[in-house]
Amino acid sequence: MEWTDIKITVPKASAEAAEAIATGISGGGIYIEDYSDLEAGVRQIAHVDLIEPALLAKDREHVTVHLYLAPDENPAEVLELLRGRLAAAELPCELAAEGVEQEDWETGWKAYYHALTIGRRLAVVPSWENFETDRAVIRLDPGMAFGTGTHETTSLCLAALDELVKGGERVLDIGTGSGILAIAALKLGAAAAEGVDIDPMCVRTAGENAALNGVQDRFTVFVGDLSEKAGGRYDLITANIVANAILHLAPAVPGLLAPGGVFIASGIIDTRRDEVLAGLAAAGLTVTDLRQENGWVAILCKNGGEA
């Protein structure tokens, strides 16, 4: 069944006005294609940094409002009405229309998301894709917020886990989001993992992803902050969040690390690297490794005095 996709492309500043006009006309559905805050949007919606490089290259200065017309609607009439209302609102815009099968616009985003390998032992695979491998497979069903590639903050953490998990560890994932880091650790052989996140939606998503990967019996997710939910000692602690949050939680980390345990902190832009390093040292942590990729930093630490 072919629908019509009418595309209204406007400068970012005019996006709300264009959306309002389209909403007033639409009899089918509207989709807003806005890449101006792509990275922040991904973290807010899904808290996993899997973004296709092709998406990162998208125009950040303009927004496209897609207005979908059912097969029984007249595209020419709707286009004329749109032109008139956009002109009356004095909105600079480009209009285009094309036919699209309903299933294409419902699932077309999947073209941006494919299997990828990380380190020596890991593979991240979308739930709908067959991928033959002897690696430990993490299956995710990301939805429209995701793409093919791995953002540096996540890949740095996953690569570290690939190296560090030997089997039997207890893991804590702070700001767990989708649960990808905890699930990776479990797939690599960790005995148990706990995830903490202040967002209830993340806790639900992490639980669903754990079930999808068959590790739900070893993964416990809590809504709340670190001080309320974490307890005991952990062999590995991950925090793929932001610099401010890492600085805030750092003083609590030494008391949660088991002897020989490692704290993996990521989500740090390189311009704040030295500030975070100083904060970790002040908290009594010793940096054992510092990894950087494309302007992002991951820092591995142990308790002060440990080799």
Q: What is the pLDDT of residue 142?
A: 54
> CB pairs under 8 A, 24+ apart, for 88-91?
89/17, 89/21, 91/10, 91/14, 91/17, 91/18, 91/21
Q: What is the pLDDT of residue 107?
A: 58
Q: What is the pLDDT of residue 102?
A: 57
Measured CA to CA, the distance from residue 268 to residue 56 in angstroms comes to 19
Measured CA to CA, the distance from residue 182 to residue 169 in angstroms comes to 11
In order of their start, the domains of the chain are 2-108 (3.30.70.260), 152-303 (3.40.50.150)
Q: Which two tokens stand for residue 211?
A: 């079930």
Q: Write out residues in the chain with pLDDT < 70, as ranges.
A: 1, 26-29, 37-57, 101-113, 141-151, 227, 307
Q: What is the pLDDT of residue 26?
A: 67
Q: What is the pLDDT of residue 103?
A: 56
Measured CA to CA, the distance from residue 208 to residue 283 in angstroms comes to 35
Q: What is the pLDDT of residue 200?
A: 77
**Model-level pTM greater than 0.85?**
no
Q: What is the pLDDT of residue 164?
A: 97
DSSP class of 129:
-
Phi and psi angles of residue 197, each rounded to the nearest 5 degrees, phi first: -150, 145
